[in-house]
Amino acid sequence: MIRSLLAMAILAGFLTGCPGAPAGTPPPASPGTPSPAVTSTAPTPGTPPHWGSSPRTVDHHPAVPPVPVLLRVRSAAHSEEGFDRIVFDLSEALPGYSVRYVSRVTADPSSKAVAVPGPHHLLVVLHPAQAHLDNGTATVSGVHPLNLPMLRSYAIVGDFEGHVSIALGIEDRAGYRVGELPGRIYLDVAH
C-alpha cells in the first residue's frame, strides 16, 4: 500500500513538474557541472511586475566578455493603459539593474550635476553593461526630450567601468514597474 502511494506521488511529480520550478526549468546540474552564467531575482515569467516607488534591484550575472551593450532606447505613451514606457534594448544576456528616485542627477564618475528635463528623476543603472562599441563609438549618448505625459526626457549620464547610468526626467513622482523581455528591459511610469 505504501509503495503504491509512493509510486503515485512520484508519477504525479513527473506529470506536473517540481513545485516552485517554472515550466521549462532545466534539471539541477550534477556535481562538477558548471552552473548557468545568469542568475536573477527578476519576477517569474508570466507574473506581472509590481507597481511601486521604492528602489528596485535585479541581479543578473552574465558571463563576460562580451559585455551587454545598450543598443538603443525607445519610448511610448500607453495612455489607455495609464502609463508611459521606456525600453532599453540590449545585446547579449541581460545585465543586472537598479532603479530608484534621486533628488539630484550627476554624471558618473565625475559627480558633476547634469540638467535632465523634468522636475523628478529616476536613475537606472545597468551592470555589467556598456553604451559603446568595443572601438569606443557610443551607441546611445546625450540628453533626449520625450515629452510624454510622465516621461519628459532621458539622458545617458554614465558609461564607466561596466556601469551604464540613465536618468529619466519624470513629470511627477509616480509609481513605476520594471520588467524584462528577451533582449530588453522595460520601465513603465504610471500616469
CB 151: neighbour CB atoms within 10 A? Answer: 25
How much is the average pLDDT of 140-167?
Answer: 97
pTM: 0.75
Tell me, yes or no, whether 122 lies in a domain: yes
Tell me, yes or no, whether 151 lies in a domain: yes
Helix (H) or strand (E) holding 12: helix 2-16
Tell me, yes or no, whether 125 lies in a domain: yes
Tell me, yes or no, whether 22 lies in a domain: no
Tell me the residue type at 191.
Answer: H
Range of the domain at 180: 51-190
Q: Which set of grid coordinates corresponds to residue 162?
A: 561596466
Between CA 19 and CA 120, with CA 178 as vertex, the angle to 5 degrees is 150
Q: Which residues contact 180 (CB under 8 A, 6 or more apart)?
A: 42, 58, 94, 186
Q: Give whichever of 3-7, 30-34, 86-90 has the largest mean pLDDT.
A: 86-90
Could you check whether the bond before residue 66 is cis, i.e. omega within 30 degrees of 0?
yes
Per-residue pLDDT, 47:
60
Q: Which residues contact 134 (CB under 8 A, 6 or more apart)?
A: none
Q: Residue 115: which CATH number?
A: 2.60.40
Residues 9-65 pLDDT 10s: 433 333 333 333 333 333 333 333 333 333 334 445 556 667 999 999 999 999 999
Number of residues that make up the chain: 191
The DSSP string of 83-130 is EEEEEEEESSSPPEEEEEEESS-B-BTT--B---SSSEEEEEEEES-B
Percentage of the chain lying above the pLDDT 70 cut: 74
Tell me the residue type at 54.
Answer: S
Tell me, yes or no, whether 45 lies in a domain: no
The overall average pLDDT reported for the chain is 82
Tell me, yes or no, whether 67 lies in a domain: yes
Per-residue pLDDT, 141:
97
Per-residue pLDDT, 44:
54
Tell me, yes or no, whether 133 lies in a domain: yes
More reliable by pLDDT, 44 or 177: 177
Q: How many domains does the chain have?
A: 1
Per-residue pLDDT, 28:
35
Tell me, yes or no, whether 33 lies in a domain: no
More reliable by pLDDT, 3 or 49: 49
